[in-house]
Amino acid sequence: MRVAILGYGSRGDIQPVLVVADALRRRGHEVRLTVNVNSADWAKRSGIDILPMHPDAEAFLKSPGGKQLLAKGKSSTLFRELAALEERHNDDIIRVCREACRGADLVCSTIVTVFRGAGFAEALGAPHVCLATLPMFRTASFASYLLPIRDYRAGRLNRLSWDLYIAAYWLGQRHVFNATRRALGLPEWKHRPRVEDGAFIHMYSKHVLPIPDDVPRSHWQGGYATMSAELRERLGERALPPGLDKWLAAGPPPVFFGFGSLPVLDPAAVLRDVVLLCEKHSIRALVGAGWTEYARGALPETVFIAPAFDHDRVLPRCRAAVHHGGAGTTAASLRAGLPTLVCSLFSDQPLWGQRIEQLGAGTTFPFQKLEPKRLSAALGGLLRPEVAERARRIGQALSAENGTEQIADLVERFAQSQGISVAVRAAGVSASQCLSSYTDLPGK
């Protein structure tokens, strides 16, 4: 089977679909994956057929202006800037996606590329499925994650919030999506297509957020796409930063502070706060951030600053986690069984923080409200035995899942249901199991 996966965004957006692409390739399928230029060199080390495209999806977020918008919680302004960036490079995006889809039997998109994916699949006459790392469906169970209220306590209002979210996404970029359709020789969409009623495979665990019963049966849940040690090795990320293993072994499990994805405008001040927290709570702190210039100062032995590292190797050796609530980092901290504090910024991050709080495995508040006194109080709550026990149980449930293979199974079974010949060449489900009909696909 020839599969085109249309990835777009930062590394956090690309990594889950890279993991799925690798799983499908190991089963004998031909896979092409589009990525932004900022992730291209890294992704190519996987051995997957990578097609890079502009823009650099991380440059703006890492710029002083982007950090200011994030730090101030200006999500609407941030989304407009990112949409404008995508529009400026739309011709290149169309060109690369067209090449990725050439001859494909199946088109897979992400939440970011779902409208494009629907168009390319239509032009090819091929089936389309969205690989979703976050919810995109109308439900009465909870509200859209882009609104300040997470649950309006009224099913109709919650459903309306999802209509508004998907409509806002469509209205903000419909000219970009229609430019894609014109380039493909397709008629423009006059009205918003109901992409949320199509085929979706959700790449997060039912133990964290089960798909509600009122969601269409074309939405299925596979679990988290977890990177294997072998793929991590190919990507050159298996080795730990110098000194980290020795530091971890030299004392009690530390609290992980994942500041690398947070728009910290004054790292030196934050490090001073972390040192004080260590003294107050008698803990050690592992700070995940590229702040090596600050590590040269007189930091106590209770604090270790490390650049990017393999979360699956390190977080199980920690005691608790503090991070921004990105879907991938949330999965890693929960899989490690860590009580977690989410300091959310935008998009789906508040949703994951809310779910952690509802599960009793931690707490959450917006990054804009992060200050030493509040952080200290939240950290004290994380270290309570009952919170640690709930987090441990969730970690056990997630560790027992094989989300990557379940997602690959669902991709194959969906393709088979659409008349595509699928040959399973690696562990997962048997060939006979893959012959399930569309209606027999596992759902929620």
Distances from the Cα of 133 to the Cα of 203, 224, 376, 382, angstroms: 5, 8, 31, 26
pLDDT score, position 74: 72
Q: Are residues 271 and 363 in the same domain?
A: yes
Q: Are residues 334 and 435 in the same domain?
A: no
Confidence class for position 250, pLDDT limits 50, 70, 90: very high
Residue predicted with more confidence, 410 or 345: 410
Return the percentage of the chain with pLDDT > 70, whole number: 93
Confidence class for position 292, pLDDT limits 50, 70, 90: low
Confidence class for position 441, pLDDT limits 50, 70, 90: low
pLDDT score, position 283: 97
Residues 6+ apart with CB under 8 A from 286: 244, 248, 254, 255, 256, 257, 304, 306, 314, 318
pTM of the complete model:
0.93
Question: ∠413-416-420 over CA atoms, to 5°?
Answer: 140
Residue 354 lies in a domain: yes
Q: Are residues 372 and 423 in the same domain?
A: no
Per-residue pLDDT of 365-408, as tens digits, reads 998 898 999 999 999 999 999 999 999 999 999 999 999 999 99
Residue 165 lies in a domain: yes
Q: Are residues 391 and 427 in the same domain?
A: no
Range of the domain at 286: 240-400
Residue 125 lies in a domain: yes
Whether the CA torsion 188, 194, 199, 201 is positive or negative: it is: positive
Closest CA to 58 of 40, 77, 33, 32: 40
Residue 434 lies in a domain: yes
Per-residue pLDDT of 256-271, as tens digits, reads 999 877 777 788 888 8
Q: Are residues 381 and 358 in the same domain?
A: yes
Q: Are residues 196 and 284 in the same domain?
A: no
Q: Are residues 393 and 410 in the same domain?
A: no
- Considering the chain, what is the average pLDDT of its residues? 91
Residue 70 lies in a domain: no
pLDDT score, position 62: 81
Q: Are residues 125 and 9 in the same domain?
A: yes
Residue predicted with more confidence, 305 or 69: 305
Q: Are residues 294 and 153 in the same domain?
A: no
Residue 219: left (phi > 0), alpha (psi -120 to 50), or beta?
beta
Q: What is the CATH number of the domain that holds 372?
A: 3.40.50.2000
- Please compute the mean of the pLDDT values over residues 315-321 and round it to a whole number: 98
Per-residue pLDDT of 350-376, as tens digits, reads 999 999 999 999 999 998 898 999 999
Phi, psi of 148, deg, nearest 5:
-65, -25
Q: How many CB atoms lie within 10 A of CB 435?
A: 12
Residue 335 lies in a domain: yes
pLDDT score, position 296: 58
Q: Are residues 102 and 145 in the same domain?
A: yes
Q: Are residues 23 and 161 in the same domain?
A: yes
Q: How many domains does the chain divide into?
A: 2
In the numeric block, the tokens 């779910």 are attached to 355
d(CA 365, CA 372): 13
Q: Are residues 320 and 379 in the same domain?
A: yes
Residue 201 lies in a domain: yes
Confidence class for position 180, pLDDT limits 50, 70, 90: very high
Q: Using H for helix, E for strand and C for coil, what is the string for the chain?
A: CEEEEECCCCHHHHHHHHHHHHHHHHCCCEEEEEEEHHHHHHHHCCCCEEEEECCCCCHHHHCHHHHHHHHHCCHHHHHHHHHHHHHHCHHHHHHHHHHHHCCCCEEEECCCCHHHHHHHHHHHCCCEEEEECCCCCCCCCCCCCCCCCCCCCCHHHHHHHHHHHHHHHHHHHHHHHHHHHHHCCCCCCCCCCCHHHCEEEECCCCCCCCCCCCCCCCEEECCCCCCCHHHHHHCCCCCCCCCHHHHHHCCCCCEEECHHHCCCCCHHHHHHHHHHHHHHHCCCEEEECCCHHHHCCCCCCCEEEECCCCHHHHHHHCCEEEECCCHHHHHHHHHCCCCEEEEECCCCHHHHHHHHHHCCCEEEEEHHHCCHHHHHHHHHHHCCHHHHHHHHHHHHHHHHCCHHHHHHHHHHHHHHHCCCCCCCCCCCCCCCHHHCCHHHCCCC
pLDDT score, position 226: 97
pLDDT score, position 33: 99
Residue 159 lies in a domain: yes
